[in-house]
Amino acid sequence: MAKKLILAGVVGGVALFLWGGLSHMVLGLGEHGVQYLPQPQPVVAAMKASVPGSGLYYFPLTEASGKLTPEQEGGPWGILVYHASGASMAMSRQLITECILNMVQALVAAFLLSLVPGLTGFISRVGFVVAAGLVGAAGLSIEYWNWYGYPANYTAATIADKLIGFAIVGLVAAAFIKPAAASLPVERAKAA
């Protein structure tokens, strides 16, 4: 069973990685709802002058009680992921990391599937993996929409991307991971 789990994780992860490439580079799901600053130069210059270093920033700065000052009320707010240096078109390290992360996700999904008895049908096993993917994708994406104001179209595209990706992982995992309950009678017959 361990070999099948690892195989399901590797093949499912590679399939998820390939889907990610297709969904981002061809279909544009990864950038749905993302906009570019129309005049980035003054904003970048202001960030270089006022942001102390790389990090995740939330603005505006609130009082200790968490309340806004009267001047801030009704003004702009948001989050900023800021990297002070290192902008590059080279993404090889990120692509390798993404592929490994996809393999880990597929391995976890296959492992969880292997623990569930009674899913004898192929479609029910695929559905289990899709449901697991939905819990992760929708939970995090909807929280970011709620708390940080991520655009609704970005949120919906992200959830759709993950659902399709985990359907692909589910197809792979269901092909490798058979229900545990189905193998019990065979094992009992061998023991007798």
**DSSP secondary structure of 39-92:** SHHHHHHHHHHH--SSEEEEESPPPTTSPPPTTTTTS--EEEEE-SS---S--H
Supply the pLDDT for residue 65.
Answer: 83
Residue pLDDT, tens place only, 161-180 = 999 999 999 999 999 998 75
Q: How far apart are CA 164 and CA 54, in angstroms?
A: 33
Which two structure tokens, joined as six digits, stand for 59? 């603005």
Percentage of residues in the chain with pLDDT exceeding 70? 93
Contact between 149 and 78 (Cβ < 8 Å): yes
| φ and ψ at residue 150, rounded to 5 degrees | -55, 140
Q: How far apart are CA 141 and CA 160, in angstroms?
A: 11
Closest CA to 137 of 113, 118, 162: 162
Supply the pLDDT for residue 64.
Answer: 80
Whole-model pTM? 0.81
Residue pLDDT, tens place only, 26-72 = 999 888 889 999 999 999 999 999 999 999 998 898 888 878 888 88
Residue pLDDT, tens place only, 62-103 = 888 878 888 888 889 889 999 998 888 788 999 999 999 999
Contact between 148 and 79 (Cβ < 8 Å): yes
Supply the pLDDT for residue 69.
Answer: 85
Residues whose CB is less than 8 angstroms from the CB of residue 94 and which lie 6 or more positions away in sequence, other chains included = none
Higher pLDDT, 88 or 6: 6
